A and B are shown apart, each in its own frame.
Chain A
C-alpha cells in the first residue's frame, strides 16, 4: 500500500512528481521551493530519520540534483505496512547558480551535509548559519566535486610544479 502516502503527497503538493519503486521505495521529485514543505510533511508523516543529503552533478543536463534520503526509526516499512521504507526526495537546480532554502530547521541532522555540499559543489543553502569551510585548505575556482573539475590536471599543475629539494644540478 505504498499508494496511500503517495496519494496524500500528490493531493497536498501540486508541483511534485512521485513515483513508487520496488522494495518499498518512493521517489519524489520536487521544485526548490517545495523541498522544505515536503520534508516537513514527510517528517510529520513519520519519516523522521534523514539518512543522507547528497548531491549529483548532471553536467550534460546542466543541472545539480540534491537528494534527500529519508526513512523511519520506528517503522521498518515494506509492503506489508502503510508506508514506504525509504523515500528519496530529489530536487533539480540550475548548474550556474544552485541555491536552495536550508532544511536544518526541519532536520538538524542536515547541517553538516549542507555545509559539505556547499563546499564541494558550490550549492548555496539560504539561511544556513555557518557555511564556513569544512574540509578544504585551499580555495578552488570550480568546487572540486563538480564534474568539470579535472582533478588529474589540477594535481599535475599544483603538485607537479613543486620541485625536489637539494643541490641544484
Chain B
C-alpha cells in the first residue's frame, strides 16, 4: 500500500472499502459466465483484489451481467438488483447487454440492458477475456473514486421510467415498486 493509498484511506474510508471489497452476485445470466470461474480461480485469482462471488444478493455490491439477457432472465435480474443493498455497481459483460450483440434479431433477448436497469460500465467483446474483467474492475475503481459509479442513484431518480420500460416488455410485474413515489423524475 503506497502513501497515496493511505491518504485516500484516511480521507474516505467508506469509498475505499467499497472499492476493495467488490462481492459479485453469482448469477449465470448468459454464456459470459464461462469466463468467471477462471477469473476467480487459480489462474487469475480475482480475490487478490477483493473480488469474490457471493451466494446471495444481500451480501453483494457488484452485479456482473454475464451475457445476453432473455426476457425470463430479465425478470430475475431486476429482482436480484433490487435486493442488493446500496451502494451497488452493475457491469454488463460482453456485447450482448450493450446492444443485443449477435442476437440482435432474437425475439426473446433484450437489446439495450441500460433501458431496464442502470449500468455503470460495459466490457465489450464476445467473450471478453479474464484480463478484461480486471481492466473493468480497475475502471470501476476509478469511477467509484470520482463518484461516477452512480447507477443506483440513477435507478432511484428515474425509477418511474425504468419501471415503465420493464413493464413494457415483461407485462405487469408481480412485485410492488421499490420506490413507491416513482423516483424523482
Contact = CB atoms under 8 A, between A and B. Distances in A.
A163 B158 CA distance: 13
A155 B111 contact: yes
A138 B71 contact: yes
B162 A137 contact: no
Interface in A153-169: 154-155, 158-159, 161-167
Contacts of B161: 163, 165-166
Nearest to B155: A165
A136 interface: yes
A98 interface: no
A51 interface: no
Interface stretch (B21-29, B120-128, B164-172): B164-172
B158 A162 contact: no
Given A137-B70, A162-B165, A165-B165, A155 B105 contact: yes
Majority SS at the chain A contact face: loop
Nearest to B162: A165
A78 interface: no
Contacts of B75: 137
Interface in B111-125: 111-112, 114-116, 118
Interface residues of A, number: 20
B72 A137 contact: yes
A163 B108 contact: no
A2 to B, nearest CB: 41
A169 B105 CA distance: 29
Contacts of A159: 100, 110-112, 169
A165 to B, nearest CB: 5
Given A137-B75, A138-B71, A166-B158, A161 B168 contact: yes
A136 B171 CA distance: 13
Contacts of A135: 72, 108
Contacts of B168: 161-162
A74 B71 CA distance: 42
Interface in B74-111: 75, 100, 104-108, 110-111
A162 B116 CA distance: 9
B109 to A, nearest CB: 9
20 contacts: A136-B71, A136-B72, A136-B108, A137-B70, A137-B72, A138-B171, A144-B108, A151-B106, A155-B106, A155-B107, A158-B169, A159-B100, A162-B115, A162-B169, A163-B165, A164-B112, A164-B114, A165-B114, A166-B154, A166-B158
Interface of A: 135-138, 140, 144, 149, 151-152, 154-155, 158-159, 161-167
Interface of B: 70-72, 75, 100, 104-108, 110-112, 114-116, 118, 154, 158, 161-162, 165, 168-171, 185
Given A162-B115, A166-B154, 8 more contacts: A135-B72, A136-B71, A138-B71, A144-B108, A155-B104, A159-B100, A162-B169, A165-B118
